[in-house]
């Protein structure tokens, strides 16, 4: 204990429970740091980090950038929309050119699954996956589990249901790995058309009835319907989706207990979750966002501590 | 490995009382004073001083806190040792306060340098002083000296000074340990 077992954070699947616990303990300290009058520490002042976003993002990108700046790292930003990628440059060329400018770490979001893994094998820098296609989004899973731990005391033994568009969701996959490693029971819930074919092989149960799923769970993580990734229609109409899988006050009030509501953002208000639920005190959505900065500071700090720049 | 005792429990007790009295002499009723133990080992000393000042001498106006300096250290990414953080507990503003930093052993001065930076995150103190139980002189890397010191020691570089506290180690004592490295 004390050091991460990995030089990159590419996904939750390949990191250990000890790594997750270490990230959480470190994040506890950074959460205290970001609530100080002066929220900055000098740890990473000689580290340069490139944020490469080949896909749109608001929260994750801002959160990483804030985390980097609060650790005093130098930050360069890159987004595919305004870059030479449009001129046909390959991923390795883009990244190697950026590394030639002496960058130590790369935070990357990419539409293709496995882009982070591919990069980690070809370039000499620490890689943090900020979402790769429908594959993994490890920091989101870490901050979700961290928020559950903060709200309920522990993740172990808790029942967590992930609701909605499981098929297109990297958040769902990383969450399943993370929560299971920490000893939680996980169910997924959503229309059959939005269930990956082999989801049960991960050891999760599939529930098609939202009411039953909510009655079973301690925490419901409501995922966004990812219209931009849908090439065909997966359900008859938005209205029908809302009726069956949208979470509103009425469905919550029918439950015999109180549950915690989460959402990784961005919210389609009135689709997967109604406004009154999203803004209610059951919801820890904004805590997730705050914890996101602390978790990302912890990840970057722990990865940087393995670089040992100055060792002979 | 050679081990000799430098201070026993009774001597430590006398020194703690003297240090508390020196603080009282300088800080009067502690109205604008914050006494801050440096994590991890300085906290035992600051807890003892807190007990002496508030319980035994009845002066209750001082603020007491704990400061972790891990993220402010200057040896990050430079060694094999992983820097593990401890809890910071400062629930007051240090702006315009007279801060007394408390640590068990002053050696190279680098921890204190980090603490001087770290404390700025909580405001701009009016003044900062340093109190240490043991002052290992002749081994400083930086121009930092204590304002209050328990005992000065001329330990050489391959010797280590270990401060034991009843709360954590079962006894109050200070040892000098000579490492046997051939």
| Cβ separation B76–A41 shorter than 8 A | no
- CATH 3.40.50.1370 matches A138-284: yes
Assess whether pLDDT exceeds 70 at residue A80.
yes
| Cβ separation A305–B117 shorter than 8 A | no
A92-144 pLDDT per residue, tens: 888 888 778 888 999 999 999 999 999 898 888 899 999 999 999 999 999 99
What gap in Å lies between CA A42 and CA A70, rounded to an integer?
A: 8
A31-59 pLDDT per residue, tens: 999 999 889 999 999 899 999 999 888 88
Take residue A239 and report the two structure tokens written for it.
């209205």
A160-205 pLDDT per residue, tens: 999 999 999 999 999 999 999 999 999 999 999 999 999 999 999 9
- Three-state SS for B169? helix
- Expressed as residue numbers, the domain containing B75 is 10-155
Which of B71, B78, B123 minimises the CB distance to A41? B71
What gap in Å lies between CA B12 and CA B44, rounded to an integer?
A: 13
Which of B68, B82, B118 minimises the CB distance to A3? B82
Per-residue confidence (pLDDT) for residue B80, from 0 to 100: 60
Question: In sequence order, which residues have a C-beta less than 8 Å from that of residue B128 and are 6 or more positions away?
Answer: B99, B100, B101, B116, B119
Does B133 reside within a domain?
Answer: yes
Asked if the domains A17-136+290-304 and A138-284 are classified in one and the same CATH topology, the answer is: yes
Does B169 reside within a domain?
Answer: no
Contact A247, A220 (CB under 8 A): yes
What gap in Å lies between CA A30 and CA A7, rounded to an integer?
A: 20
Q: Which of A24, A33, A302 to mutate to test the interface with B (most CBs of B within 10 A)?
A: A33
Assess whether pLDDT exceeds 70 at residue B181.
no
| Cβ separation A309–B87 shorter than 8 A | no
CATH number at residue B67: 3.40.50.2020
Does B167 reside within a domain?
Answer: no
Assess whether pLDDT exceeds 50 at residue B67.
yes
Does B170 reside within a domain?
Answer: no
Closest-CA distance of chain B to residue A7, Å: 13
B40-53 pLDDT per residue, tens: 999 999 999 999 99
Number of domains composing chain B: 1
Give me the CATH topology for the region A17-136+290-304. Rossmann fold (3.40.50)
Spell out the domain ranges in chain A. Answer: 17-136+290-304, 138-284
């Amino acid at each position: 204990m004390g050091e991460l077992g990995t030089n990159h954070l590419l996904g939750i699947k390949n990191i250990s429970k000890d790594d997750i616990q270490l990230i959480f303990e470190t994040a506890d300290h950074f959460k205290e740091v970001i609530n100080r009058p002066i929220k900055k520490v000098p740890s990473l002042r000689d580290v340069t980090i490139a944020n490469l976003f080949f896909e749109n993002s608001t929260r994750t990108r801002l959160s990483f950038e804030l985390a980097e700046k609060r650790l005093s790292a130098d930050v360069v930003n890159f987004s595919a929309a305004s870059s030479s990628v449009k001129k046909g440059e390959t991923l390795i060329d883009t990244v190697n050119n950026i590394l030639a400018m002496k960058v130590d770490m790369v935070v990357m979001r990419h539409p293709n699954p496995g882009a982070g893994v591919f990069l980690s094998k070809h370039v000499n820098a620490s890689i943090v996956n900020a979402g790769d296609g429908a594959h993994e989004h490890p920091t989101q899973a870490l901050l979700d589990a961290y928020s559950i731990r903060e709200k309920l005391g522990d993740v172990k033994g808790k029942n967590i249901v992930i609701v909605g568009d499981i098929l297109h969701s990297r958040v769902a996959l990383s969450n399943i790995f993370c929560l299971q490693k920490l000893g939680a029971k996980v169910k997924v819930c959503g229309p059959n058309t939005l269930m990956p074919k082999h989801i049960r092989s991960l050891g999760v149960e599939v529930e098609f009835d939202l009411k039953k799923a909510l009655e079973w769970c301690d925490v419901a993580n409501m995922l966004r319907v990812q219209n931009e990734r849908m090439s065909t229609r997966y359900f008859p109409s938005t209205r029908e989706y809302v009726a069956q899988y949208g979470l509103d006050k009425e469905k919550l009030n029918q439950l015999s207990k109180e549950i915690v509501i989460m959402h990784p953002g961005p919210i389609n208000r009135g689709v997967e979750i109604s406004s009154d639920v999203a803004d209610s005190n059951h919801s820890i959505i904004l805590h997730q966002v705050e914890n996101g900065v602390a978790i990302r500071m912890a990840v970057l700090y722990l990865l940087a501590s393995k670089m040992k720049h100055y060792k002979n | 490995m050679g081990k000799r005792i430098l201070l026993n429990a009774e001597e430590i007790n006398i020194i703690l009382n003297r240090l508390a009295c020196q603080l009282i002499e300088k800080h009067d009723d502690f109205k604008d004073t914050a006494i801050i133990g440096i994590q991890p080992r300085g906290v035992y000393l600051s807890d003892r001083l807190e007990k002496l000042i508030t319980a035994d001498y009845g002066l209750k106006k001082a603020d007491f806190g704990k400061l972790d300096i891990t993220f402010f250290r200057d040896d990050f990414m430079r060694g094999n040792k992983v820097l593990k953080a401890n809890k910071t507990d400062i629930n007051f503003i240090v702006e315009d306060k007279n801060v007394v930093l408390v640590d068990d052993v002053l050696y190279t001065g680098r921890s204190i340098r980090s603490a001087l930076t770290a404390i700025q995150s909580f405001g701009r103190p009016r003044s900062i002083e340093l109190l240490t139980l043991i002052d290992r002189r002749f081994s400083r890397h930086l121009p930092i000296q204590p304002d209050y010191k328990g005992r000065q020691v001329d330990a050489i570089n391959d010797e280590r000074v270990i401060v034991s506290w009843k709360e954590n180690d079962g006894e109050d004592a200070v040892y000098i340990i000579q490492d046997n490295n051939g």
